[in-house]
Amino acid sequence: MLYNLILTFVVIFWLAGTWPHFRPALVPSTLLPLSFLALLANICYSAAYLVDIPVQLSTPSAIWNRYRWLLWIFGILFALLLENYWIADEIYADFH
C-alpha cells in the first residue's frame, strides 16, 4: 500500500508541476495504457519476492529480518527511477 502511495505521489507531483503540458495526455483513450503501467509497477513490486523468499529459506530469519527493509528501500528507489524516467522521457516528451 505504501509503495503505491509513494508512486502515486510522484505522478501527482508531475501532473501538478507541469499541468498545461499533460492536459492532452489525460483523455479516456489513455486510460488503458496508464492502467497497464500501473499493473507493471505492481508486478515489479511482486518481483522482490523472487529474492526475498529464497533468502528467507536459506538464512536464519532473524538475520534477514534485520536487513529485509533494505530490499524494500532499493525496490522503491528503483521504481521511482523508472517512473520518473518514463514520465520525463516517454510521456512528457510527447506532450512538451
d(CA 9, CA 11): 5
Annotate 21-81 with DSSP letters as a single string.
HHGGG-SGGGHHHHHHHHHHHHHHHHTTHHHHHHHHHHS-HHHHHHHHHHHHHHHHHHHHH
Q: How confident is the model at residue 9 (pLDDT cuts 50, 70, 90)?
A: very high
pTM of the model: 0.72
Residue boundaries of the structural domains of the chain: 2-95
Q: What is the pLDDT of residues 12-44, one digit of tens each?
A: 998 888 888 777 777 888 788 878 888 888 888
Q: What is the mean pLDDT of residues 67-83?
A: 86
Q: How far apart are CA 2 and CA 13, in angstroms?
A: 16
Host H or E run for residue 95 = helix 92-95
Instruction: Judge whether residue 82 has pLDDT over 60.
Output: yes
